[in-house]
Structure 1
Amino acid sequence: MEHIALYRAWRPQSFQDMVGQQHIIKTLQNAIREQRVSHAYLFSGPRGTGKTSAAKVLAKAVNCERGLGPEPCNECPSCLRITAGNVMDVQEIDAASNRGVEEIRDLRDKVKYAPTEVRRKVYIIDEVHMLTTEAFNALLKTLEEPPPHVMFILATTEPHKLPATIISRCQRFDFRRVSLEEQAAHLRTICDKEGIEADPDALQYIARLSDGGMRDALSILDQISSFTDGQVTYQQVLGMTGGIPSEQFARLAKAILEGDMGLLLELVEQLMQEGKSADKCLENLLYYFRDLLMIKMVPGADQLTDRVLNPAEFQDMASAFSRERLFEIVDTLNRYLGEMKYATHPQTLFEVALMKLCSMHEQGNLAVPVAAASSGSVPAVAGTSSGADPGELDMLKRQLAALEKKLEQAIQAGAVAGGRDHNASPKLQPAQSAPRISAAGKMPPQVDKFIASKDSPDFSAVYKQWSVVLQGVKEEKVTVHAWFVDGEPVSVMEDAVLVAFKNTIHRDTTEKPANRQVIENVMAARLGKPYRLVTIMMRDWNEAAQKSADQPGKEELRLEHEHEAAGASKEPWIDEAIQLFGEDLVVIKE
């Protein structure tokens, strides 16, 4: 006997055979029982959810020879012939291949004739969104006012493509995706009746693969049962469908958590050797971390996802990550997944995405208590072992040093401001406005040490590589480069590079934390060791260097600006103009 595919052999023949659409079944049964059947219906929803099957069952119910009832009898000649497709008055039309206006005009002409074999003519138009605009226009009037013996049932997976004039003439029913539990139960029933032995985990995984479509689930079950001679196991389903077990995702997540790039690359190579596709691996890994985030943030979230087979394992893994880290991982994976479709080498992009995750640091681990910062000690980082990554320690040290510098600058600024207020002349206070606080007035601490180190070998090495640093900043973020290129390195002291700016606004913009971070990352990468960025105005640097050269035993040859050589003006508004616009844009005329 010829084999019939499971999705055809188990196609619903009555409303009670349908899975997961109780809200639609009950409405249609009540309408048939009360003889309030509409002349036009619109069935919309994902593929494999029972739209066409429901249309055929409805056609049998309104034409059953035993009278209108909530279910067709499936025994009378009309029901049997409609099931076999041998009734000319019940037509199923494929709109994808009959989408032109001529086919719809022909249908419109035939509608006026009375049925010859059954009680009502039923036209089932499948994939109705494929009709052309002209075909829809030809169907409008007939759909709105058909003869009393005609019923239209339109089925589509994309209802948004239908004109509003068509939708408004139909009763619309939205078919939903079949839930995981309903699919697994239906698959178990079919396996019992077909003599197929299947593990519960295997059926649940098949249901997850079908994405809510019952027809897809039955097709996968049919394929796997043929391959395994009626013995369906979880591992066989994974091997046949190219799926990845959750244990491998757990190993990937553990390697990301521990920062083990070697293990990550080994696992990726193993997946590729097994024939997995890089884009599917990345997509499933994104789903895995999404589930971890849901379980961590929402109690009882194992009911919110169809991918969790063992919630206890997910709970343990979710507790190992912080919320911020999970948000960053999901965001990064989503971005790389969008780029994957354009990638020439998907495996390479997959590996880069995992290495990116491996190098990310939790924001919470970078927070440093004030007491620890003031004491200058590096606190232990929560969640890390004693063998921490040297890069993490360097970053923590740089951040501690930056905090110390900012604290020292704040203390100095407060002391200077207090001294000015204390010594200010009462006569000058009413006439003078408060000075504008900007980066122009900021002098970096330890300027004397920077002046002493301005001819050091470290500065020479940095100065030679400065064009490489500028190019790196440009490649990383061109907007930061546009402001940073105004600066020029003038000294290097230990782990700090002093950069002098001619224009105040360029210095202010460079000092922003986000821009500073970009520049310091590039300097660490291009100069071979981490450096802090310290800024100063060029005129302040020249003045400080000149004062140092004027001291006994020191001489310095220095180029001066024209108006500097003649003597800087003592007028306060001239100094303010220079601070606002820079020396290059200010011309002093006598």
Structure 2
Amino acid sequence: MAYQALYRVWRPQRFADIVGQETITQTLRNALEAHQTSHAYLFTGPRGTGKTSAAKILAKAINCPNLKDGEPCNHCSSCQAITAGTLNDVIEIDAASNNGVDEIRDIRDKAKYAPTSAQYKVYIIDEVHMLSTGAFNALLKTLEEPPSHVVFILATTEPHKVPLTIISRTQRFDFQRISAQAIYQRMSYILQEKGITFEAAALKTIAKAAEGGMRDALSVLDQVLSFSDNHVTLENALQVTGSAAQQLLADYMQAIQAQDTPKGLEILQQVLAAGKDAGRFIEDLIEYSRDLLLYQQAPEMVEKIELGDIDDQFKQLSQAFAATDLYQAIDVLNDSQQQLRFTNHPDIYLEVATVKLCQSNRTSVPAPAAPEATAEFSQMQQELKNLQQQLANLRINDGPTTSTAPAMVAKPRRSSNQHTNVAAIYPVLDHATKASLQQLKSVWTELLQMLTVQHRALMHASKPVAASHDGVVVSFDSDFLLDRANNNQSMVDALENGLDRLVGYTPKIIFVPQDEWPQVRKAYIQQHRQEKAHTATPPSSAQAAPVISQAAALFGSEHIEIKND
């Protein structure tokens, strides 16, 4: 006997053998047991999900005299004849090649006659959406008033093309895509029954490449068995499906995350040199990026999708990528996938996409806090809490009845210029605009998220209060944190680098105590008004205005007296 494909040999013969459609098979079994079967059914769903197999099993079950628990016996003459396709009372029609009015009229005329050997005459019309309008109209009358001994089973992958008048006269069952886990288990069972060895990773690759179709999975498995001499290996599965190995995908995404363009192009050349399909490689990258994104929010879902095949490198990449970067990567890959449809040089678009991905702006994701960082953060919080408690005690005890307590907890007075660098603040205020300040306020939270845990702890009590293109004034509500920030040049550099990424320029950052900022701003406004007033004086005074500004910046405007000659 000639060789038969796996999907034909292992076609389900009982409802229990249909994978991934438990709701539908249970409903049909219950209807059969209760003798409440319909005269017409419509099975819809993607290819390879079991529509035709379910139709044949239903035809056997309706005509089986030994029905048990809604399942056909598969041993009686009726069941065996339907399985072999030799029973005249079960007619299979391909609507793609028999879509005319004459063919449907012939069915309508023959349906009037009683079955010859079975209890019911069953018509299975596959791809029913291919029927012409006239053919549907001819079928409609039969579905409205069917003979009691006739059952119609319509199957289609495109139910939206079936007229609603037809759908309303049938019981509709929507077959879903089969999960990769169910496909993997079915293939494992078949290979074990055949005594064929396999690698679990190979079957997982085939199951994911099948995209929910059991027939597609078994067809690919057939190819792999022929290619690998009855031993299923991961390498051969990748070769047949055109997929890229998970390690290559991980290395490629690692190069993107590190913005290592040469490394990314090198991996791309390895993929193309191995004969992988360019479109399939982009599709694998999109799925990998999606899995990284989903793993940040729902790890259990990704483990189910990937059949538990999650390694440490994948987990590290999921933590290293920001969600916005993955959104951008998926958009770039999707655009490249669309462009591949109209080109004969897919390698060019893949190379361009690789350069785009590697050179795009990265949003840094703070690394998990180390134990020592957590300890330092806790210490800083405790110190801040102690200082706040001392301030509260000072306010409570600040009265005429206190004699010794204030001396113990009094906060040392600072000089007017201990924290406030007016010489640096005033030039910023000269060119400060409301638009610049609003721009920095809008990105301030994102800017702090780009810092390390220690630096975020320092800056959590800060906010921008004035800004120009060249500088930004940041106020602190804690003198303790302000002192720490002024002495932390690495944090200032990180802030300036972050601003360069977010707003496209690098303003100089000046810190100021929050309680001193109103006085600084008021003094600047008064000085600005004085300078404006002096511009109306003779040229000699106008020429002296810059000198006055410098003197006011150094000694304070309240200590300067201007006398005109």
Which TM-score bucket, shorter chain as reference? 0.5 to 0.7
Q: Partner of 1:319 in structure 2? A: 319
What are the Cα deviations for residues 7-45 of structure 1, in whole angstroms up to 9, with x where unaligned? Answer: 111111111222121111111111111110100001111
Q: How does 1:320-469 map to 2 (within 5 A)?
A: 320-363=320-363, 367=447, 374=473, 379=491, 399-401=505-507
Residue 99 (str. 1) matches residue 205 (str. 2): no
The alignment of Structure 1 onto Structure 2 pairs a total of residues equal to: 419
Task: Give the deviation of 1:279 after TM superposition.
Answer: 2.1
* Post-superposition offset of 1:334: 2.1
Contact 1:286 1:330 in 2 (8 A): yes
Mapped to 2, the partners of 1:125 and 1:23 lie a distance apart of 23
Amino acid at match of 1:221: L
Instruction: Quote the Cα distance in structure 2 between the aligned partners of 1:104 and 1:395.
Output: 68
For residues 129-144 of structure 1, the aligned pairs below 5 Å read 129-144=129-144
Tell me if structure 1 keeps the 8 A contact 2:39–2:146.
yes
Paired AA for residue 34 in structure 2: E
Aligned residue in 2 for 1:289:
289
Q: Could you tell me whether the CA contact under 8 Å between 2:500 and 2:506 is conserved in 1? A: no
Q: Structure 1 residue 164: deviation in Å?
A: 1.0
Show the 5 A alignment for 1:478-489. none
1:291–1:308 Cα contact (<8 Å) kept: no
Q: Secondary structure at the match of 2:506?
A: helix
Whole-Å separation in 1 of the counterparts to 2:119 and 2:492: 82
- Asked whether the equivalents of residues 62 and 68 of structure 1 are also in contact (C-alpha less than 8 Å), the reply is no
Aligned: 1:42 with 2:42: yes
Give the AA of the match of 2:7. Y
User: CA RMSD for the aligned pairs?
Assistant: 3.6
* Residues 92-117 of structure 1, C-alpha deviations (whole Å, 9 max, x = no match): 00001111111111111111111112
Change (3 A) 1:130 1:420: farther
The alignment partner of 1:300 has SS state of helix
**Counterpart position of 2:120:** 120
* Residue 8 (structure 1) aligns with: 8
Residue equivalent to 2:234: 234
Gaps of 5+ in 1: 385-390, 405-410, 424-546, 552-590
1:529-557: CA deviations, max 9, x gaps? xxxxxxxxxxxxxxxxxx9xx99xxxxxx
The offset of 1:301, in angstroms, is 3.1
Aligned identity (percent) is 46
Letter in 2 for 1:156: T
Which structure 2 residues correspond to residues 20-99 of structure 1 after superposition, within 5 A? 20-66=20-66, 70-99=70-99
Segments of 5+ residues of structure 2 without an aligned counterpart are 366-445, 449-458, 465-470, 474-485, 511-517, 531-538, 544-565
Name the CA shift for 1:398/1:105 in 2 (closer, same or farther; >3 Å).
closer
Distance between the aligned counterparts of 2:247 and 2:143, measured in 1? 54
Deviation larger for 323-332 or 10-19: 323-332
* Cα 1:12/1:290, change in 2 over 3 Å: same
Matched residue type, 1:142: T
Aligned to 1:561: none
* Residues 42 and 155 in structure 2, CA contact (< 8 A), matched pair in contact too: yes
The 1:86/1:396 distance shift into structure 2, 3 A limit, reads closer
Partner amino acid for 1:145?
A: E
Letter paired with 2:236 = Q
Task: Please give the alpha-carbon distance, in whole angstroms, between the structure 2 residues aligned to 1:50 and 1:24.
Answer: 11
Q: Is the contact made by 2:201 and 2:234 (CA closer than 8 Å) also made in structure 1?
A: yes
Tell me, yes or no, if the aligned pair for 2:243 and 2:284 is still in contact at 8 Å: no
Change in Cα spacing, 1:381 to 1:328, as seen in structure 2 (3 Å) is farther
Does the aligned pair in 1 maintain the 2:181–2:307 contact within 8 Å? no
> Which 4+ runs in 1 deviate beyond 4 A?
363-366, 368-382, 391-398, 414-423
- Cα offset, 1:380, TM superposition: 7.1
Matched with 2:249 is 249
Deviation at 1:207, TM superposition (A): 1.1
**C-alpha distance after superposition, 1:62-86 (max 9, x if no partner):** 1113357611111111111111111
SS in structure 1 at match of 2:65: coil
1:426-482, Cα deviation, whole Å (9 max, x unpaired)? xxxxxxxxxxxxxxxxxxxxxxxxxxxxxxxxxxxxxxxxxxxxxxxxxxxxxxxxx
Instruction: Please give the alpha-carbon distance, in whole angstroms, between the structure 1 residues aligned to 2:94 and 2:503.
Output: 69
Amino acid at match of 2:505: Q
Q: 1:195 & 1:336 partners in 2: Cα distance?
A: 43
State how far apart, in whole Å, the 1-side matches of 2:126 and 2:319 are.
48
In 2, the alpha carbon distance for the partners of 1:137 and 1:378 equals 78
> Shift in Å at residue 344 of structure 1?
4.5
Distance 1:191 1:7 in 2: 13
Aligned-partner residue type, residue 72 of structure 1: P
Query: How many angstroms does 1:363 deviate by?
Result: 4.2
CA contact 1:29–1:70 (8 Å) conserved in 2 = yes
